[in-house]
Amino acid sequence: MGCELIVDGKGPVGSFQREACKSGCATILLEAGEPLKIGTQGIRNVLIGLGMIAGSPIYPPYQTRISKTTWVRAELGGILDFHVSPG
């Protein structure tokens, strides 16, 4: 798909993703901050990779693959205000 971050996993227990993987169907789940840009490019890359359309895939400058994640959930709703700049 050409994403910068790849989470290599089967998905949470009871999820559609895990059940699809269990039955032998590969899955791609996209969570992105720019879904129109990243999602469209990713779908194009997949179609090229499957030989369904002509062209060359566009790859990101780097890719990182992780196999374990931890999800942090907020206990209350609100507005997040960062006190430090990125970087």
- The whole-number pLDDT of residue 9 equals 80
Do the domain assignments include residue 17?
Answer: yes
Containing domain of residue 49, as a range? Answer: 5-66
- The whole-number pLDDT of residue 49 equals 92
Measured distance CA(57)–CA(2) in Å, rounded: 8
Do the domain assignments include residue 26?
Answer: yes
Burial class of 39 by CB neighbour count within 10 A (0 to 12, 13 to 18, 19+): middle
Do the domain assignments include residue 33?
Answer: yes
17-75 per-position pLDDT tens digit:
889 988 998 888 777 777 777 788 889 999 999 999 999 999 889 989 988 888 788 88
- The whole-number pLDDT of residue 39 equals 83
Do the domain assignments include residue 25?
Answer: yes
Do the domain assignments include residue 32?
Answer: yes
Q: Per the structure, how many domains does the chain have? A: 1
- The whole-number pLDDT of residue 34 equals 73
Do the domain assignments include residue 86?
Answer: no
Do the domain assignments include residue 85?
Answer: no
Do the domain assignments include residue 77?
Answer: no
